[in-house]
Homo-oligomer: A and B are copies of this chain.
Amino acid sequence: MKATGVVVEYNPFHNGHYYHLQETKKQTNADCVIAVMSGNFLQRGEPALLSKWKRTKMALLGGADIVIELPYAFATSHAPRFAFGSIFLLQALGAESFCFGSESGDISVFTKTHDSLDSQQADYQLNIRNVMSDGLSYPAAAAKAFEALNTPLPLDLSKPNNILGFEYIRASRELGNVLKPLTIKRKNADYHDVVLGKGNIASATAIREALFSKDLSKAENYMPAFTYDLMVEDQQEKGTLMNWERFFPLLRYQLLSSSPSEINSYYEVEEGLEYRMIEAIKSSDSFNTFMTLLKTKRYTWTRLQRACLHVLNKIKKEEMHQLLETPPAYIRVLGMTEKGQKYLSSVKKSLEFPLVTTVSKHDLPGLRMEARTSLVYAQGALVNKLSAEKEEFNTPPVIVK
């Protein structure tokens, strides 16, 4: 059997994702699509709107055959590590290719960009060192450094999905260039669009905005019916869809009851950010106000949200470094179709890493972090908190026939 891979968050699964999965199958002619999906917390430093199990079900109903979990450490890391963890897992599971959505839509542009960059590596490193000293955030500095190269890169690296794609390919090259990269042009929606468009494809950001404007149904046109139903179901079970505001009382308590050195011990809290956090929390009655007070030119909003996430989850620098230094140490299956099941049986014996379907049967640092952060995630529930806490441990992989 031939497998291809996609890297996803599905927060939530919408028509654009559906299109991506269908196109991926068409272009690769694969028998099986493996989706590497983030769990409770996402790369932008946010809690997922709804549970990983519901999002897994969406993925399977929408065309994926296997959903595996990108561990917390990688899922909440900056783009290079996020990409590395994801591509590593796809390769470990024997995929032959991977396919990502991008603004560019032309894979040769990505390849040429990497080739060009390889030949200008020294210049690039010099440029980036120069512009970093201006106090710019890393992404802004990287963009400037690219711009300043003698031979301009063919890829527009100001676009978020182009950046991610660029990192996937870099990771894959580091891992021996085993997987064939493919890209699909994103349709009709810009990543950052916040107003719902007129077509039936809108960005996840725009959909989330609509969801939190108190009217779930506003977003209904932009997603398959199963997404909408699963979202309503999750909201009923927990009394809410999750967002940062749900966790703000806990973050606030954590910051106010911790010493600066304790806060500094958490991952991504650097350069005195702990003092800014302690100062900002004193006059913030919402997460949004807090973030606005925290924001400076040096840090992106995403970077600051991730730091907040690690404070909330009490993720120490050392434990995060240890997990990020090496590739993911296990493959956790969140769900599969019958075809996916068949694929897993066929590769099972040749896997170099444990295939995890029941977390309680394994004792691994990455899974322990997943368990801890899942318990924190469950605290966002307004009702049935106890059952939300048990989800991580008691839910068997989702099977869709």
A253 with B385: CB separation less than 8 A: no
Q: CB-CB < 8 A to A283: which residues of B?
A: 386
Bound-state CA distance A313–B257 (Å) is 7
Q: CB-CB < 8 A to A180: which residues of B?
A: none
B379 with A252: CB separation less than 8 A: yes
1/0 per residue A321-335: CB within 8 Å of B? Answer: 000000000000000
Given contacts A249-B249, A249-B379, A252-B379, contact A389 B282 (CB under 8 A): yes
**Could you list 18 examples of A-B contacts with CB < 8 Å?**
A249-B249, A249-B250, A249-B379, A250-B250, A250-B253, A252-B379, A252-B385, A253-B253, A256-B372, A256-B375, A256-B379, A257-B313, A257-B314, A257-B376, A258-B314, A282-B386, A282-B389, A283-B386
**Interface membership of A123, Cβ < 8 A:** no
Q: CB-CB < 8 A to A285: which residues of B?
A: 385-386
Chain A contacts with B in 353-383, Cβ cutoff 8 A: 372, 375-376, 379
Q: CB-CB < 8 A to A379: which residues of B?
A: 249, 252-253, 256
* CB-CB nearest in chain B for A251: B253
Q: Is chain A's interface secondary structure helix, strand, loop, or mixed overall? A: helix
Chain A contacts with B in 249-281, Cβ cutoff 8 A: 249-250, 252-253, 256-258
A-B pairs, top 9 by smallest CB distance, nearest first, are A256-B375, A250-B253, A257-B314, A253-B379, A257-B376, A285-B386, A257-B372, A285-B385, A257-B313
Number of copies: 2
Closest approach, in angstroms, between the C-beta of A72 and any C-beta of chain B? 13
B282 with A376: CB separation less than 8 A: no
* CB-CB nearest in chain B for A375: B256
Closest approach, in angstroms, between the C-beta of A378 and any C-beta of chain B? 8
Closest approach, in angstroms, between the C-beta of A389 and any C-beta of chain B? 7
- List 20 additional A-B contacts (Cβ < 8 Å) besides A253-B253, A283-B386: A249-B249, A249-B250, A250-B253, A252-B379, A252-B385, A253-B376, A253-B379, A256-B372, A256-B375, A256-B376, A256-B379, A256-B389, A257-B313, A257-B314, A257-B375, A258-B314, A282-B386, A282-B389, A285-B385, A285-B386
Bound-state CA distance A256–B313 (Å) is 10
Q: How many residues belonging to A are interface residues under a CB distance threshold of 8 Å?
A: 19
Q: CB-CB < 8 A to A253: which residues of B?
A: 250, 253, 376, 379
Closest approach, in angstroms, between the C-beta of A369 and any C-beta of chain B? 11
* CB-CB nearest in chain B for A374: B256
Bound-state CA distance A314–B253 (Å) is 11
Chain A contacts with B in 285-314, Cβ cutoff 8 A: 285, 313-314
Q: CB-CB < 8 A to A250: which residues of B?
A: 249-250, 253
Bound-state CA distance A130–B375 (Å) is 43
Closest approach, in angstroms, between the C-beta of A5 and any C-beta of chain B? 32
Closest approach, in angstroms, between the C-beta of A399 and any C-beta of chain B? 27
Q: CB-CB < 8 A to A256: which residues of B?
A: 372, 375-376, 379, 389
Bound-state CA distance A258–B314 (Å) is 8
Bound-state CA distance A375–B258 (Å) is 11
Q: CB-CB < 8 A to A252: which residues of B?
A: 379, 385
Bound-state CA distance A249–B246 (Å) is 12
Closest approach, in angstroms, between the C-beta of A44 and any C-beta of chain B? 21
Q: CB-CB < 8 A to A389: which residues of B?
A: 256, 282
Q: CB-CB < 8 A to A314: which residues of B?
A: 257-258
Bound-state CA distance A285–B283 (Å) is 31
* CB-CB nearest in chain B for A312: B257
* CB-CB nearest in chain B for A383: B285
Closest approach, in angstroms, between the C-beta of A311 and any C-beta of chain B? 10
Bound-state CA distance A282–B378 (Å) is 12
Closest approach, in angstroms, between the C-beta of A262 and any C-beta of chain B? 9
* CB-CB nearest in chain B for A371: B256
Closest approach, in angstroms, between the C-beta of A97 and any C-beta of chain B? 39
Q: CB-CB < 8 A to A258: which residues of B?
A: 314
